[in-house]
Amino acid sequence: MVDTVTKEKRHEIMSKIRAKNTKIEIRVRLWLHHNGVRYRKNCKGIIGNPDIAIKKYKIAIFINGCFWHGHWNCKISHVPKSQSEFWEKKIEKNRARDERIRQELIGSGWNVFVLWECQINANFENVMQELLAKIQLIKKQRRSAG
């Protein structure tokens, strides 16, 4: 399918896509805060600048858009038909970077959680309850070890 807008208009549209403080991130943060979880957002001092970080318990949470991060077997994640070679390379580089960052954090003793856009949209409450249970378990383990 041929793009129906000019290159300039497409550039304008793409430039408005935010990398942080997306609607999904805000929704997740509000839910966590409402449920007593205190955190830092977009933490620059941590490898990969996680969307949400709980430094005290070494918890890093990434909220990934399925398209941009190349979520496997997901309806939202697809390679556009125009400039497909460019997009395949870009998404593959994003996947490789995400995995490298995840491994570095795990190697440094961090607990890493990745929340995907499709999972949040389809089953928000269950995803969040599961995340909260994992956070509480890590807190409990750290307290008893400390």
**Each residue's pLDDT expressed in tens, for the chain with a length of 146 residues:** 556 767 676 556 555 555 668 899 999 999 999 999 999 999 889 999 999 999 999 999 999 999 888 898 888 777 777 888 988 899 999 999 999 999 999 999 999 999 999 999 999 999 999 999 999 999 999 888 86
Number of H helices, E strands in the chain: 5, 4
Give the start-to-end residue ranges of the domains of the chain. 17-145
Residue 57, C-beta contacts closer than 8 angstroms, at least 6 positions apart = 111, 135, 138, 139, 142
CATH code of 17-145, in short, is 3.40.960.10
Which residues pair with residue 112 across a beta bridge? 60
Predicted TM-score of the model (pTM): 0.84
**DSSP 8-class letter at 4:** S
As a whole number of angstroms, the distance between CA 126 and CA 58 comes to 23
